[in-house]
Structure 1
Amino acid sequence: MSRASSEEEDRKGRMATSGLKEEQMTAMEASPLHVLAVDDSSVGRMMIEKLLNGFPYRVTTVDSGKRALELLEMGKANDGSSSAASDVNLILTDYCMPEMTGYDLLKRVKESTALRDIPVVIMSSENVPTRISRCMEEGAEDFLLKPLRPEDVSRIMKFVEYPK
């Protein structure tokens, strides 16, 4: 099998497992999205990175909400314009973390004029309806149960606008 046909089969496999359509994959490949994954667990970060690296995403992982805010604020100017170096298209954050929960990170992002347009998806291994409702009311795009699966990729990516 040639390398080109092998790459095409890999691409078709990613589309099939994620539920993404041909035009979505083409747009993503032309303009990779930057996903900021926030999880205090090194295993959790590795799993997210592995899942998303099967797609044309640039993934940055950090171990806390505080570090996520530092990265986000470093990349955004006071006037709300963004720096190409850390232009984040989606924040995927764990709910349960020490110091700052995913909910606290969500609130800080949505309160910031420079950051509020970045979609935030919360994930947790605990299915607690009041927690889910609270996050959704605060502005989360979605709440996913861990572990994330390949089909969750298309679910979270529908919230992202591709850069033009």
Structure 2
Amino acid sequence: MDTELVELLLIEDNHHEAELTMRNLKKSKLANNMLHIDDGKEALDFMFNEGQYSYNKGKVFNPKLILLDLKLPKMSGIDILRKIKKDPRTQNIPVVILTSSNEVPDIDACYNEGANSYIVKPVNFSDFSKIIGDLGMYWILTNKHPNQPNVQM
């Protein structure tokens, strides 16, 4: 997938939770240009046009939102967040942590590294569905992205 087309990047290794997230975003008509990656290293390769994504060299990856889990194979979500927020090309991309961890050290670490929001995944299906729909509506449709042109209403 061409990086210029991705509006939402979901970085989640649990395929069931990723499917629920994508289904709820599609139901809300918010996932037209969404990409799911289940590996921390691959996510960074995609974002920075490296590895199997090096064919996109020179293109700007600037989605409206990154949904990021913390527990990922090959690289933790906190390490990914740190790299995103320290690079001038990606530092303004909103990153929402979507995780099962309710641990204060995880919450503190994420905000210290520049997370825009931290959401603990609800166990209840209907609560999970509502949260995904609400966060998609806010971050994809309502939030003003720093690289969007000014549009007069």
Moved more, 140-149 or 128-137: 140-149
Matches within 5 A, 1:13-162: 34-54=7-27, 55-57=29-31, 58-74=33-49, 77=58, 82=60, 87-147=62-122, 148-155=128-135, 157-159=137-139, 160-161=143-144
What CA distance in whole angstroms lies between the structure 2 residues aligned with 1:154 and 1:76?
34
Q: Give the superposition deviation at 1:92.
A: 0.2
Moved more, 152-161 or 140-149: 152-161
What CA distance in whole angstroms lies between the structure 2 residues aligned with 1:87 and 1:111?
15
> Runs of 4 or more off by more than 3 Å in structure 1?
155-160
Question: When the two structures are aligned, how many residues end up with a matched partner?
Answer: 127
Q: Max radius of gyration: which structure?
A: 1
Secondary structure in 2 matching 1:144 = strand
Secondary structure in 1 matching 2:73 = coil
Secondary structure in 1 matching 2:7 = strand
What CA distance in whole angstroms lies between the structure 1 residues aligned with 2:98 and 2:114?
14
Q: Give the superposition deviation at 1:45.
A: 1.5
What CA distance in whole angstroms lies between the structure 2 residues aligned with 1:111 and 1:136?
14
Moved more, 147-156 or 96-105: 147-156
What CA distance in whole angstroms lies between the structure 2 residues aligned with 1:142 and 1:157?
14
Q: Give the superposition deviation at 1:97.
A: 1.2
Indicate conservation of the 8 Å contact 1:120/1:141, yes or no. yes
User: TM-score when scaled to structure 2?
Assistant: 0.71
- Residues 127, 121 of structure 1: alpha-carbon distance in 2 compared, 3 angstrom cutoff: same
Indicate conservation of the 8 Å contact 2:24/2:132, yes or no. no
Q: Give the superposition deviation at 1:152.
A: 4.1
Indicate conservation of the 8 Å contact 2:11/2:69, yes or no. yes
Indicate conservation of the 8 Å contact 1:142/1:156, yes or no. no
Q: Give the superposition deviation at 1:158.
A: 3.5
User: TM-score when scaled to structure 1?
Assistant: 0.67
Cα deviation, 1:96-121, whole Å, max 9, x if unaligned, reads 11221111110010111111111111
